[in-house]
Amino acid sequence: MSSLPADGFAAFIWRSLRCPTGGPGDARAAKRFAAGENRPAIHIEPVEAPAAKGFSGLRETKPILAVRDLAKTVPGGRRLFSGLDLEVKAGELVAVVGESGSGKSTFLNILAGLDDGDSGEVVVDGTATGGLDERGRTELRRTRIGFVFQAFHILPYLTLRQNVALPLALVSGDAAAIESQADAKLAAVGLGDRGGSYARDLSGGELQRVAIARALVHEPALILGDEPTGNLDPETAGRVLALFAGAVREGDAAAVIVTHSRSVAAVADRVLTLTSNGLSDADRAR
The CATH number of whichever domain residue 272 belongs to comes to 3.40.50.300
Residue 14 within a domain: yes
Residue 1 within a domain: no
Is residue 238's pLDDT more than 90? no
**Residue 233, phi-psi category: left (phi > 0), alpha (psi -120 to 50), beta (remainder):** beta
Distance (Å, whole) CA 107 – CA 67:
10
Residue 226 within a domain: yes
Q: How many of the other CB atoms lie within 10 Å of CB of 30? A: 21
Q: Is 239 exposed, middle or buried (0-12, 13-18, 19+ CB in 10 A)?
A: middle
Report the amino acid identity of residue 129. Answer: T
Distance (Å, whole) CA 11 – CA 31:
19
Residue 2 within a domain: no
Is residue 254's pLDDT more than 50? yes
Find the domain containing 109 and state its range: 8-285
Position 66 confidence tier, pLDDT thresholds 50, 70, 90? very high
Distances in Å between the Cα of 52 and the Cα atoms of 8, 59, 98, 253, 285 are 27, 10, 34, 12, 37
pTM as predicted? 0.78
Higher pLDDT, 35 or 225: 225
pLDDT digits (tens, 9 = 90+) for 122-135: 999 999 999 999 99
Tell me what percent of the residues of the chain surpass a pLDDT of 70. Answer: 77
Q: Which of 25-39, 83-97, 135-149, 254-268 has the lowest mean pLDDT?
A: 25-39
Domain count, the chain: 1
Q: How many of the other CB atoms lie within 10 Å of CB of 209? A: 27
Higher pLDDT, 37 or 153: 153
**Quick one: pLDDT at residue 36?**
52
Residue 16 within a domain: yes
**Quick one: pLDDT at residue 227?**
87
The gap between the terminal CA atoms of the chain, to the nearest Å, is 46
pLDDT digits (tens, 9 = 90+) for 73-119: 998 899 999 999 999 999 999 999 988 889 999 999 999 999 999 99
Is residue 26's pLDDT more than 50? no
